[in-house]
Structure 1
Amino acid sequence: MSSHVPHSIGIIGLGNIGRYHAEQLSSLTAQLDVEITGGMDISPMARDRFEEAFGAPAYDDPESLYETTDSVIITTPNQYHEEYAVGALNADNNVLIEKPVAHTIDSAKRVHETATQSSGICMVGFHNRFASPVQVLKQYVREGRFGEIHHIEAKYIRRRGVPGRGTWFTEEESAGGGALIDIGAHAIDLALYLLDFPCVTEVSGVTRSVFGDRPDYTHLEMWGEHGDGPFDVDDSANAFIRCADASTISLDVAWAANRTPSTEFVIQGTDAGARLDLSDGELTVFESSSAGAPHFSDSEITTRDENPHRQEQRQFIEAVREGRPLSVNTVEQGIVVQQVMDATYRSSERNGAITLDTEPMPTAD
């Protein structure tokens, strides 16, 4: 029998992402002595599905859940992140909140302020950091294999991938934005993570809505379902991001585009470079040398297939159990990502660059 009291976790927001988190947690129950003790959603149908699938009670108010849990995972529409994160942290719960921190920069800052005053841990769900090839790539960065990294190309492009036309995903009031705040958040975070989160000094960007509200929008599949709400958000974004250490990021994000899909990240360094494709885990390191004779060397890296959401949950639970501060996916880092997204939107509106002065925060993980 385990010497630990099972760590109790609840899920707030029992839609697709919430159920997926619960499924991954279920596979960790024996390894980490974790127990899913409840869920919360305003939808009776979602609560019924959760109770049937996971054998835990589902509530229509968060206070009942806070009383039965040590930690909560928040997977609601973005506009409710602040409400539930602040409530959970004030109840001394630990929080894993799906990206972004919130739907606006001001809301995100209020989450951060509460997190700094709470005894609970608050982690932001940028799960791509925990993919095996990303972990290898980050270790090579730490070891200095690439020398000084001066530029990263970050692409997160779907051919037709609006997650749910007419749902909260495509409504600015609920989501805070479209493709940029949905998948762009992942691209910005991963690029800054590989650069060790330097100070961001300037953002120049353009956001567009080209495909999402067209009546002739043609797709083969959709992650979510059609809804009756508006489409008043961006479906693509391009940005150029400057940092104080002279490194730069070019960002290319789209829910829909007439091109091949891509989740490609390209690193350009003084000693080596790399190409990572998140869709299939392919990682190639590009090097050159004059040893023996001038030559190029391209190394293909093969890694074990690990579920990044599950690895993220493991990091969160272990940090809570050990009572140690987070060194990865911190709210502070989430705020920087939010600042870059906010600056991209403002840059697009003003048709000019936006000056920033974010706090540098080297990743110690």
Structure 2
Amino acid sequence: MTDEPKKLRAGVVGLGWAGQQHMQAYFDAANADLVALAGMEAEKLAELGDKYGVERRYADWESMIKSGDLDVISVATPTALHAPIAVGALNAGIHVLSEKPMAESGAAAATMVQAAKDNDRVLDVSFNHRQRGEVTALKEIIDRGRLGQIYYAKAGWLRRQGIPGLGTWFTRASLAGGGAMMDIGVHMLDMALHLLGNPEVSSATAATYAEFGPRGRGGSAYGPRANVDTKVDFEVEDLSTAFLRLDGGGTLLLESSWAQWIPYDQCYVALYGSEGGASIEWGGWGVEPYQRLNVWTEIDGIPAELQPIVPPAGHHEASVLKFLDKVQSGQFAEHRGEEALIRAKVLDAIYASAAKGTEVTL
């Protein structure tokens, strides 16, 4: 009879919505104990500490890391803090799960990967939308060869009105690194590349626009300063589009917006293969949301539309549980955040292309 692995002592830095998803996941996990929280909002820190029964509460992440007695840490802060916190934790021997995007630049993301290698720790990034049931089902179909050679893909996340906090860190380039593409477009980039089998991106041709944010318009209905015709500090884009060339000859068209004149929010990935096509779609408004997985192919020469069984979605909980499994597997060298680093470098190329008005090679 072997002893069960000890529970991993977990800490979370960041008290916002994403941080709270990580807290709940650690709290519910059978193989982890949530033992420490860090955040600058004193009232929220007290509230969440009481909710989860966490006695160790810190106003800053440095104090939490220096206190010791942590095995894993989640980083759910403004993007520009991801790399400093992750590197500090990794150097202290703590495994790290960072929220997306990995960092504000590929260079910053690379420091995180190097720290994971130097300290023999796990570095993971939470792309929670990859845990959707439709993605799991479609990935299995692709891996079985049902779509054949996929040569073209489209992916996008478009909001009617959803700039997350006008005038906050989300709209400041130095803190966020970018706007809609950095915030939500990265989810669709990750999802598309994951479904395609992670081909290398060879070049990017992109454009960015800021038509709503600078006028104080397009703010989320749940955030501050929504729909007001007042100029605000807005240093990023509210819409971005990119054409990516992939090794092997394939291409990916990517678009993302925080605000746009469309009927409702829309998210999609569409794949075109030699033996079939497929799409994942979700969006809509309020009481009329939609969520679809479509697969079109041919069986014995007869056009067919498949209806795959879709497993339940995992969301942030699945990201946290998979991270804990990676830590307990002991196979740290296989999980250094290098796949997420590739996403960060692609984002660099997208923004560089938009700034220069020309194609940028990776």
* TM-score (norm. length: structure 1): 0.89
Q: Which of 262, 272, 289 is equivalent to 1:268?
A: 272
Please report how far the alpha carbon of residue 351 of structure 1 lies from its aligned counterpart in structure 2 after TM superposition.
0.9
* 1:313-324 correspondence to structure 2 within 5 Å: 313-324=320-331
The answer (yes or no) to whether the contact 1:50–1:58 under 8 Å persists in 2 is no
Q: Which of 288, 298, 318 is equivalent to 1:288?
A: 298
User: In 2 relative to 1, CA 325–68 (structure 1 residues): closer, same or farther, beyond 3 Å?
Assistant: closer
Q: Counterparts of 1:166 and 1:286 in 2: how far apart (Å)?
A: 44
Q: Which of 312, 318, 324 is equivalent to 1:305?
A: 312
Residue 262 of structure 1 aligns to a residue in which SS? strand
Q: Counterparts of 1:26 and 1:300 in 2: how far apart (Å)?
A: 36
The answer (yes or no) to whether the contact 1:286–1:296 under 8 Å persists in 2 is yes
Q: Give the partner amino acid of 1:277.
A: E
Please report how far the alpha carbon of residue 70 of structure 1 lies from its aligned counterpart in structure 2 after TM superposition.
0.5
Corresponding residue of 1:7? 8
Please report how far the alpha carbon of residue 118 of structure 1 lies from its aligned counterpart in structure 2 after TM superposition.
1.5
Corresponding residue of 2:95? 94
Structure 1 runs not aligned, ≥5 long:
357-365
User: In 2 relative to 1, CA 82–219 (structure 1 residues): closer, same or farther, beyond 3 Å?
Assistant: closer
Please report how far the alpha carbon of residue 350 of structure 1 lies from its aligned counterpart in structure 2 after TM superposition.
1.1
Deviations 1:308-363 (A, max 9, x none): 211111111111112124767x521111111111111111111110011xxxxxxx
Structure 2 runs not aligned, ≥5 long:
284-289
Corresponding residue of 2:236? 233
Deviations 1:274-319 (A, max 9, x none): 0102445421110124x3xx53211233423333211111111111
Q: Give the partner amino acid of 1:49.
A: E
The answer (yes or no) to whether the contact 1:81–1:101 under 8 Å persists in 2 is yes
Residue 157 of structure 2 aligns to a residue in which SS? strand
Corresponding residue of 1:332? 338
Residue 307 of structure 2 aligns to a residue in which SS? strand
Q: Counterparts of 1:11 and 1:198 in 2: how far apart (Å)?
A: 33
Q: Counterparts of 1:235 and 1:252 in 2: how far apart (Å)?
A: 11
Please report how far the alpha carbon of residue 22 of structure 1 lies from its aligned counterpart in structure 2 after TM superposition.
1.0
Aligned residues: 346
Residue 213 of structure 1 aligns to a residue in which SS? helix
Corresponding residue of 2:57? 58
Percent identity over the alignment?
29
The answer (yes or no) to whether the contact 1:167–1:226 under 8 Å persists in 2 is no
Deviations 1:17-57 (A, max 9, x none): 111221233232xxx23110011112323322221221112
Corresponding residue of 2:45? 47
Corresponding residue of 1:255? 258
User: In 2 relative to 1, CA 13–163 (structure 1 residues): closer, same or farther, beyond 3 Å?
Assistant: same
Q: Give the partner amino acid of 2:360.
A: I
Q: Give the partner amino acid of 1:184.
A: G
Q: Give the partner amino acid of 1:350.
A: K
Q: Counterparts of 1:60 and 1:17 in 2: how far apart (Å)?
A: 18
Q: Give the partner amino acid of 2:236.
A: V
Q: Counterparts of 2:237 and 2:14 in 1: how far apart (Å)?
A: 24
* 1:156-305 correspondence to structure 2 within 5 Å: 156-215=157-216, 217=217, 221-222=221-222, 224-226=223-225, 230-259=233-262, 260-279=264-283, 280-289=290-299, 291=300, 295-305=302-312
* TM-score (norm. length: structure 2): 0.90
The answer (yes or no) to whether the contact 1:168–1:229 under 8 Å persists in 2 is no
Q: Counterparts of 1:45 and 1:79 in 2: how far apart (Å)?
A: 24
User: In 2 relative to 1, CA 24–208 (structure 1 residues): closer, same or farther, beyond 3 Å?
Assistant: same
Corresponding residue of 1:34? 32
User: In 2 relative to 1, CA 321–274 (structure 1 residues): closer, same or farther, beyond 3 Å?
Assistant: same
The answer (yes or no) to whether the contact 1:89–1:95 under 8 Å persists in 2 is yes
Q: Give the partner amino acid of 2:209.
A: R
User: In 2 relative to 1, CA 146–209 (structure 1 residues): closer, same or farther, beyond 3 Å?
Assistant: same
User: In 2 relative to 1, CA 55–14 (structure 1 residues): closer, same or farther, beyond 3 Å?
Assistant: same
Give the stretch that moved more between structures: 300-309 or 181-190.
300-309
Q: Counterparts of 1:119 and 1:62 in 2: how far apart (Å)?
A: 21
Deviations 1:92-144 (A, max 9, x none): 10000011111122211111211111221000111112211111111112111
The alignment yields a C-alpha RMSD, in angstroms, of 2.0
* 1:46-125 correspondence to structure 2 within 5 Å: 46-56=44-54, 57-66=56-65, 67-125=68-126
Q: Counterparts of 2:201 and 2:314 in 1: how far apart (Å)?
A: 31
Corresponding residue of 1:363? none
Please report how far the alpha carbon of residue 219 of structure 1 lies from its aligned counterpart in structure 2 after TM superposition.
5.8
Corresponding residue of 2:347? 341
Q: Counterparts of 1:21 and 1:118 in 2: how far apart (Å)?
A: 24
Give the stretch that moved more between structures: 10-19 or 300-309.
300-309
Q: Counterparts of 1:220 and 1:258 in 2: how far apart (Å)?
A: 14
